[in-house]
Amino acid sequence: MNYGIALFMISQLLVFIGPILIVFLLMPLVKRNLRRELFQYSERQTLFQFLLSLAVLFLPYSFGRCDFLHMFPFFVISLPISLMLIHFYHSRFKKVCSILRPIMLLFLSFFILDLAGVFFINVMNFQKGVPINLNRTQGIISIKGKESEGLVELIHELETDIRPSPIFVGSPQHDKVFINAVMVYFLSGRRSGTLYHHFDPGVTNTRIIQQKIINDLETNQVDTVVLWDQEFTNEPNQSRESSDVTLLDDYIDQNFIHTKKIGEFTLKRR
């Protein structure tokens, strides 16, 4: 089992090779004649541009947090792009490409190793997972066990409401946010009382957005608030710093009463 964990840890680091290899392979294209040759056939041009567009679109997602889960999609896209470029260079610079071949084989090995790591960690999660007994979670398991019990009880509590009005799912404090339990909206079948239902650092913890959330909660007559007391993740960026904006916290404290504590969730009503 320790070998499997080591495999997964190594695979988490290998995903960074994808962008490095693409940058390396794109460098010869600074020459205009090479760019013209690469795009001289319409089919090749369309496919290559499509793959490059995907890579560019995934860049903000990949480098937003620079961890395995965010980098892996870019790593997957970098494989066909690299293969196309090496195939193109091989017909023009055979001597140089004799050096690129082992590099590409190594890259393919890394790709297979990454897939093995992903497969292993998913198998581990499945083995320790427990089913979530809700109407909307058939075939879904929780890998955290005890947390699912609190979640199930919370959803049952929300389902007993006579008038299923929109709800708001937040955190104990909103001057510093990481994520929120957006799944509660789907699992309970309740709509969000605000447009800003998904928490994002630098957005949710700003004064402008918190005021908009408050306005939405008033407009949509939200009478139920769920606060998820999750363990905060201090990432090495500005998200771990407080914005000192407590508009939303003050509004919830002044307008909602603590009703019940269910596991990691706190239920508040007007």
Per residue of the chain (270 residues), give pLDDT as tens.
455 556 666 666 777 777 777 888 888 877 877 777 777 765 667 787 888 888 888 888 887 667 777 888 888 888 888 878 877 777 676 655 566 667 667 767 777 776 776 777 777 777 777 777 788 887 777 766 555 568 888 998 998 887 788 999 999 999 998 888 999 999 999 999 999 999 988 899 999 999 999 999 999 999 999 999 877 777 777 778 889 999 999 999 999 999 999 988 999 999
| Cβ burial 209-236 (10 Å sphere, 16+ → b, else e) | bbeebbebbeebebbbbbbbeeeeeeee
Report domain extents, the chain: 2-128, 146-269
* Range list of β-strands (E), the chain: 130-131, 141-142, 168-170, 224-228, 257-262, 265-269
The pair phi, psi for residue 265, each rounded to 5°, is -110, 140
**Which CATH number, 1.10.150, 1.10.3470, 3.40.50, 2.60.40, labels domain 146-269?**
3.40.50
Q: Is the pTM of this model over 0.85?
A: no
